[in-house]
Every structure is written in C-alpha cells, then in structure tokens.
Amino acid sequence: MTENNIFVSYSSRDVEFAKALAEELERLGSTVWIDQHGIDLGTNWDSSIDDALDTATTLLLLISKPAASSENVQDEVHIAKEYKKKIIPILIEQCVKFYNYFVINVIAFKI
C-alpha cells in the first residue's frame, strides 16, 4: 500500500455499501483496502488485516448496528488506535454504541 491509504472497516451485512464506497473513493484517486479485494484465498485472515492496518494511514469506520456488535470491527478499531491511525467514522445507520467510543464528529450517510 502507498501513502494515504484507506482501510475500510465494516460489518459483512453492510458489504454492498462498503464496496460501493470503496469503488467511488478509488475512482476519485484514493488507495483503498477492503477485505473483499485485499485477501486472497488461502491467506491468513488475521495477518492480512494486521498488515493492511499497519500500512494504512486512515481507518474508515462504517458505523451501523451490525458493525457495533461485530467483534471483527471492534478488533480493527482497536488495532487502528494502537497503530495511531486516523479514524474517520461514517454513520450509515443510527447506532448509539459507537457514539460512546468516539467523542468526535461523525459523517452521516443515508443508505
């Protein structure tokens, strides 16, 4: 991955929104890592996620009710915080749980 990489963290239930957003960001010139395109068959999932987060500059967190209850999403946010990555929360569904986690502004999208 190159500079200004975006790692997209989302619930599998939000995959269509995540893929569409990633494709649009790439069309606009961003380098985007999303598990749907970044992990080859037979590759260790955890290692791939860790490597991608290590080289990313920003974690784009798609917030929804399923994401709030996803252990994978919570792990990705935790790792991103450990690596001191920028975290940009995108609200795609009203969800109270992540408001307690981030005391920052949230960008809201309607699906």
Instruction: Give residue-wise pLDDT tens across range 61-105.
Output: 999 999 988 999 999 999 999 999 999 988 888 776 665 555 455
Distance from C-alpha of 28 to C-alpha of 100, rounded to nearest angstrom:
32
Q: 25-60, pLDDT tens digit by residue?
A: 999 999 999 986 655 566 656 778 888 899 999 999
* pLDDT score for 110: 57
| pLDDT attached to residue 103 | 45
In order, the DSSP letters of 25-79 are: HHHTT-EEE-HHHH--TTS-HHHHHHHHHHH-SEEEEEE-HHHHT-HHHHHHHHH
Q: Whole-angstrom Cα distance, residue 18 to residue 10?
A: 7
